[in-house]
Amino acid sequence: MPDFATRLLHLLRTFPLPDSPLPGSVEVRRSAEDPGVADIITAFAQKYYRANTQRVGIFGINPGRFGGGRTGVAFTDPVALTDICGIPHTLPKQRRELSSEFVYQFIAELGGPTPFYEHFFLSSVYPLELTHAGKNYNYYDATALTKALWPDMQRSLTQQAEQLNLRRDVAVSLGRRNGEFLRKLNDELGLFDRIEVLDHPRFLMQYRRRFLAENVARYVEVLGGLLA
């Protein structure tokens, strides 16, 4: 069997774009098609995802254009990619993306990227970037969009669980609204025994930043408990 990194790269590069235009003029993009992004994904996967350990899937909503959409690595902006993960690139280092900033704070508390990615796989329910009028858009922001993408979200979760050999006893949702849909998908697919739900990193950074230490501690408590 190909190693985890090879399977991940294949999944990201081949996941299909929608067959028809999405409702509401929502645009979709697969960043892994860009040669520069593909190089970053390759370097990251070979460094952190080469071991064929069974990992806990941690699922966000869909990639944002300033974090995973730019680097191809979930919840990892260009600054985190070089300064924390040690992956060189030529992307401009602009201001930190809020979700990425929070994610790498709790990753640091769990021992840093190397031990974290040995046990966890950061990803999204829907793996392609969605935008509307040039701004990030979530798969659940419009009922018609959710309905149109539902089969692809089923495909996404099934492929990630099966092709990447994720742990089936538990999966984690980043975001409570996301967790509602992840649970519905899981009820239909029967992939995971249970879903743990955490507040979304961006929500915590935007509206609960004064409680940053407590929020990071909550993540460490939940995720660390999954290693016991």
Q: What is the mean pLDDT of residues 115-139?
A: 95
Phi, psi of 183 (to 5 degrees): -65, -40
- Angle, helices 176-189 vs 143-163, to 10°: value is 60
Is the CB of residue 48 less than 8 Å from the CB of residue 114?
A: yes
Distance of CA 99 to the CA centre of its chain: 11
CA distances from 210 to 176, 200, 202, 207 (A): 20, 15, 13, 8
In the chain the domains, ranked by start, together with CATH numbers, are 4-225 (3.40.470.10)
For the beta sheet containing 171-174, the strands, ordered from the edge strand earlier in sequence to the opposite edge, are: 120-124, 56-60, 171-174, 195-198
Query: What are 43-60's pLDDT values in tens digits?
Result: 999 999 988 899 999 999
Task: For strands 56-60 and 195-198, give the pairing.
Answer: unpaired
Q: What is the pLDDT of residues 171-223, one digit of tens each?
A: 999 999 999 999 999 999 999 999 999 999 999 999 999 999 999 999 999 99
Q: Which residue has the tokens 């520069």?
A: 36
Query: Structure pTM?
Result: 0.95
